[in-house]
Amino acid sequence: MRRLEPAAIGGVMSREVANFRTFWKATTFSSVLEPVVYLLAFGLGLGATIVDRVDGLSYVEYVGTGMVATAVIFSSAFPAMFGTFVKERFQRTYDAILAAPVDVEELVTAEMLWIGLRSGFFGCFPLLVSMLFGLDPAPGMLLVPLFAFITALIFAGFGIAVAASVAKIDQFNYVTTLFITPLFLVAGTFFPIDQLPEAVQIASLLNPLHHLVELVRHACFGFETWDLLRVAVLIAFAVAMWRVAVHRMEKRLID
C-alpha cells in the first residue's frame, strides 16, 4: 500500500467530522462571541480612551484584523495539544485507528488537515465580526481562510508534537506559558511590534503568528511584495512541524 493514501486520511478525517457534529454549536458560539468580547474590550474600550490610531488604522480595525491570529492559535494549538493527548492516553482512539490500515504519518496528516480546515474557517470569524464594528470588506479578504489554514497547520503540528512529548497533561502549562502566550503577545495583534526592542523584532520574524497578522492586515488594506515571502515562510514552518509531529507521534504510538 502507498504512503499517504487519501482513503486513509479521509477515513480519519471522517471520524473527526462525526465527532465535530456533536459539539459544533459550542465551538461556533465561542468563535463568534470571543472576538466580540475582545473587540468590545480592546477595540472600543482601549480605542476610545487611550489609543486613537495605530499604523494609520482605527484601533478596532487594527485589533479586529489581528484577532484572526488569536483565533487561529487558540483553535489549532489547544485542540491539537489536548485533543491528541486525550485521544491517545484516555480514549485510546489512536490504538483503534492504527489497528486499521492507517499509519502514523496518515493519522497525523489527517489530524493536522482537519484542525487546519476548522481553524481556517473559524479564524475568519473575527474579521466578520469586525465588519459589524466598521471594517470595510476588501477582495483580498478572500485569501484570509487560506492564510489561516496554513498557519493553523503549523500550530496543529506543534500541538500534536507537544502532546506526543509530554508525560502528563499538566505539562501543557509550561508550553502555554513559555511558547504560546509570548507568540500570541508579540504577534502584533494588540500593539505594533516595531515599538519593541530590536532583538524581539528580529525574533518575531520566526513567529508565524506575526506573519499571519501582517498577511491579514495586508489582505484587508493592500498587499505588499514581501507578503509572498511571508506565505513561503508559513508553508516552510507547516512542512517542518508536520515532520516533527509525525516523528514524535511515531515515537509515542509505536512501541
Partner 1 sequence: MSLALYVCLKIRKEHSPFVNYVVWRAVAAIEMRGVVKRFGAITAVDGLDLEVPPGICLGLLGPNGAGKSTTMRMLTGQALADEGSITVLGHELPGEAKEARAEMGVVPQLDNLDVDVSVEDNLAVFARLYRVKDVPAAVDRGLALARLGGRRRDPVDELSGGMRRRLLLARGLTHDPPLLLLDEPTVGLDPQIRTELWSLIDSLRTKGTTILMSTHYIEEAERLADEVALMTHGKIISRGKPSDLVAQHAGRETAEVYAPPERLAEVRANAEAVGLKVRPAGPAIAIVGAEKATNGVVPPEAIVRAASLEDVFVLLTGEEAE
Contact between 163 and 86 (Cβ < 8 Å): no
59-78 helix and 144-163 helix, angle to the nearest 10 degrees = 40
C-alpha cell at 167: 508525560
Nearer to partner 1, 91 or 181 (CB): 91
Contact between 97 and 15 (Cβ < 8 Å): yes
226-253 helix and 208-221 helix, angle to the nearest 10 degrees = 140
Nearer to partner 1, 63 or 102 (CB): 102
Paired with 57 in beta bridges are 54
Nearer to partner 1, 8 or 193 (CB): 8
CB 214, min distance to partner 1, A: 39
CA distance 20 to 27: 9
CB 12, min distance to partner 1, A: 7
CB 97, min distance to partner 1, A: 7
Paired with 58 in beta bridges are 53
Nearer to partner 1, 146 or 247 (CB): 247
Residues that bind partner 1 (CB under 8 A): 1, 7-8, 10-12, 14-15, 18-19, 21-23, 91-93, 95-103, 253-255
Nearer to partner 1, 18 or 199 (CB): 18
Phi then psi for 113, rounded to 5 degrees?
-65, -40
CB 165, min distance to partner 1, A: 19
CB 20, min distance to partner 1, A: 10
C-alpha cell at 246: 509525525
CA distance 172 to 166: 8
Nearer to partner 1, 24 or 226 (CB): 24
Neighbours of 99 (CB within 10 A): 8
Nearer to partner 1, 70 or 93 (CB): 93
CB 23, min distance to partner 1, A: 7
CA distance 74 to 155: 9
Q: How remote is the C-alpha of 225 from its chain's centroid?
A: 24
CB 92, min distance to partner 1, A: 4
